[in-house]
Amino acid sequence: MSEFVVEKTFHINNKCRLSLDFWQDLITSPGRHGLFHLLRHIDARSGQPFLLGQAPLPRYEILRLGQKPQLSFSPSILTKVSSRSGTQLHEVSIFNFGLFGPDGPLPLHLTEFVHERIQHHQDDTLLAFADLFHHRLIALFYRAWADTQPTVSLDRADHKRFDNYFSNLIGIGQPALQARDSINVHAKHFMAGHLIRHSHDPEGLGKILRHYFKVPVHIVENVPHWLRVEPCERARLRAGRNATRLGVSTLLGVAVRDIQHKFRIELGPMSQQDYDQFLPGSAYCEQLRDWVRQYLGIELVWELRLILAKEALQNTQIGGTQRLGLSSWLSNTKPQHDVSDLTFSPEPDVRQD
């Protein structure tokens, strides 16, 4: 078991992706860097399996943190960065946040004593002992800060702390729900305020689409359409207890008119470029469909109407980029109003009635 641990340790240390120039810059001018900025950069670029402050053993970390004992004013946070001979470790020493100094919990005479032992006797035994605790205290102090910063959680693909928070909040916390559609998961996180509401109204859907696609959006409610009546539910002339009753349970025809279960999304007026991006089969059309599914599910029927600005209408030409039936019109005069005659359903297998 011990041999396996040693081999694993060397493998972890060899994965470090920080360049020698990076460490050399720290060694020559440590005062130019901030503590949190430095530790965040090391966390993001080192390639270590454990983040600083979360490693189960010190052997899984590539640096050692400590404090320089002094009572004078601190010109910077970092005071010294050095390479430990014979190893791949680097030592980072800071001025503040530790047991010593005017802000430390220990009496000031202990800071003077440790400083005297180092300067006059070249004895850093007591400081080395205190640095055992300093390393853990500073690492946990940094980890407490990093765990509360949403931007820090984006530094590494294997540490998406806030992604999990927001995903669970909007109901997509399971791994199978993360990449089930064409919408980036961070876009859903940004719209969490609308997605977690119990009442999903047209205003919320309009704001989501308006902000995401950057085009004018108008939601039309109660759009009339025809609901097909299944053959088993159609009225039949028969006697008995289950016979249909006139004015109560009798339906004439194969469909009924309904205005409660369908709405329309109108996009525009738009330019020709924006108009083409929402045509059937395009990426924007697919993303629009996925946004509606994420917000409302599949309980309602809906259709999409694209509105082209009248000044953006182009004449149809042979060999042009217009698509027949979608973005082509036969006319020699400029229209007086915006063109809004294209209406279709982005949902598959939905018949327009």
What are 168-208's pLDDT values in tens digits?
Answer: 999 998 888 888 899 999 999 999 999 999 889 999 999 99
Range of the domain at 251: 228-257
pLDDT value of position 239? 63
- Kindly state whether residues 248 and 274 are assigned to the same domain: no
Domain edge (last residue) among 154, 180, 205: 154
Task: Provide the H-helix boundaries in the chain.
Answer: 2-14, 20-28, 35-45, 108-121, 125-146, 161-169, 185-190, 192-195, 202-213, 272-277, 283-296
- Kindly state whether residues 251 and 288 are assigned to the same domain: no
User: Is pLDDT above 50 for 14?
Assistant: no
pLDDT in tens, 263-313: 999 998 999 999 999 999 999 999 999 999 999 998 899 999 999 999 988
- Kindly state whether residues 75 and 48 are assigned to the same domain: yes
Query: In which residue are the tokens 């995903």 written?
Result: 167
Q: What percent of the chain is modeled with pLDDT above 90?
A: 54
Residues 6 or more apart whose CB falls under 8 angstroms from that of 177 comprise 167, 171
Distances (CA, A) of 251 to 6, 234, 258, 300: 80, 7, 13, 23
HSE toward the beta carbon, residue 333, CA cutoff 13 A:
3
What is the C-alpha to C-alpha distance for residues 169 and 194, in angstroms, rounded to an integer? 11
Q: Is residue 174 domain-resident? A: no
User: Is pLDDT above 70 for 11?
Assistant: no
User: Is pLDDT above 80 for 350?
Assistant: no
Quick one: CA dihedral 76, 78, 82, 84, positive or negative? positive
DSSP secondary structure, 288-353, as one string: HHHHHHHHHTTSSEEEEEEEE-GGG-----TTSS--TTTS----SS--SS-EEEEEE--STT----
pLDDT band of 132, cuts 50, 70, 90: very high
Number of domains in the chain: 3
pLDDT band of 234, cuts 50, 70, 90: confident
pLDDT value of position 16? 54
Lowest-pLDDT range, 67-76, 176-185, 320-329? Answer: 320-329
pLDDT value of position 10? 34
DSSP conformational letter for 230: P
- Kindly state whether residues 295 and 209 are assigned to the same domain: yes
- Kindly state whether residues 211 and 347 are assigned to the same domain: yes
Q: Is residue 160 domain-resident? A: no
Instruction: Pick the closest to residue 230 from 255, 205, 257 (CA basis).
Output: 255
Quick one: CA dihedral 244, 250, 253, 254, positive or negative? negative
Lowest-pLDDT range, 123-127, 134-138, 309-313, 326-330? Answer: 326-330
Q: Is residue 268 domain-resident? A: yes
DSSP conformational letter for 171: T
Query: In which residue are the tokens 């205003």 written?
Result: 203
Q: Is residue 163 domain-resident? A: no
Q: Which amino acid is at 102?
A: P
